[in-house]
Chain A
Amino acid sequence: MISLDESTLIAYVDGELDIETIRMVEHKLSEDANATKYVEHLREIAALSRIAFNDTLHEAVPQALKDAVLKAAALNNADAANVVAFAPRRTQSDWGRALPMAAAAACLLLGLGGGYQYSKASTGDALKLASLTMQQDQSAMDLALNQALEVKMSGDTQTWANPDSHRSAAFTPVKTYQDKSGAFCREYRKDVSTNNQAETSFGLACRDDKGTWKTRYLILDNSNSQNF
C-alpha cells in the first residue's frame, strides 16, 4: 500500500530522522497520496496521544502521595545522618486544578508532530515566498507557544525551529496563576532568533475555555535585542 515503510514514517512523524532523510521522505510523500494520508493519521494520533493524559499532569498531586515521598526522604536522610530530620513541606505552585483538557486537543493538534515545514513553492516571486514563509512561521510559533503554555511546567522550555527560514524560537512559561474569573494565566518568556538576530519578549497569556491561550500583553525586552 505504501512505498515508504511504516517504521520510517513513524520515525518521520516523531522527528527522529535527519534533515537529509526528511527531505527524501517528503519527496516520496509528495508522490504517494496513500502514504501522505497515513502520515496525517499518524500525526493526528501522535498529537492527541501527547495530551491524552494531561488531566493527570495538571491536577494537584494528592497530598498523601507528596507526604509519603517527603517522609521517605526524611527517614532516609535521618538514617544517613543519624539525626532527626524534618521533612520540608513545599507547596506546589505549578498547576492547581484539573483542566478540561479535551477542548485543548484542537489547537494543539496542529502544533505537534511535524517539527519542520517546507515551502513547496518551486520558483517565482521570492518576496511572496518570503512573506508566506514568515506567515507560516508565525502560525507555527503561535502553535508552539500554545503548546508550551499548555503542557510545559514553569521553567521548562519549548523550542521550535525552521531550518529553511533560519528562524528559531524558545518559549518558557515563567509563572502560573488564576485570574479573578478563575481562568489560568501564565507569564512567559519568548526568545525568537531570525538569522542570528535575537529578540526577547515577555508576555502574559490566559487560557480560554476552548484551550486557546490568548496573549494579553507582550513586552519587548530592548536590553537584549541586537540592533547594530
Chain B
Amino acid sequence: MKMTVEKGNKLARTIVDTSVNDKLATDPKLDSGSQKRIGDQLRAMYDELMQQPVPDRFKELLEQLDKKNGEKEGSQ
C-alpha cells in the first residue's frame, strides 16, 4: 500500500516536470539562415514533383466522367 502511494507521488511529479518541459520545447527557435535553407530544399523537392507530367489516368478519368454526364443529360 505504501508503495502505491509513493509511486503515485512520483508519477505526479513526473507529470509536472514533463508539462514544464513541453512548454519550453513547444516553439524551438530556428535561426533565419537555417529556416531559409530548409525552406529552399523543401520547395526544390516539391517543384520537381510539380513538374512531373500528369499521368494519363487522370486525363482519362475526367474525360470519361464528361462522357458519362453527357449520356445522362441526353437520356433525361
User: Are A and B associated in one complex?
Assistant: no
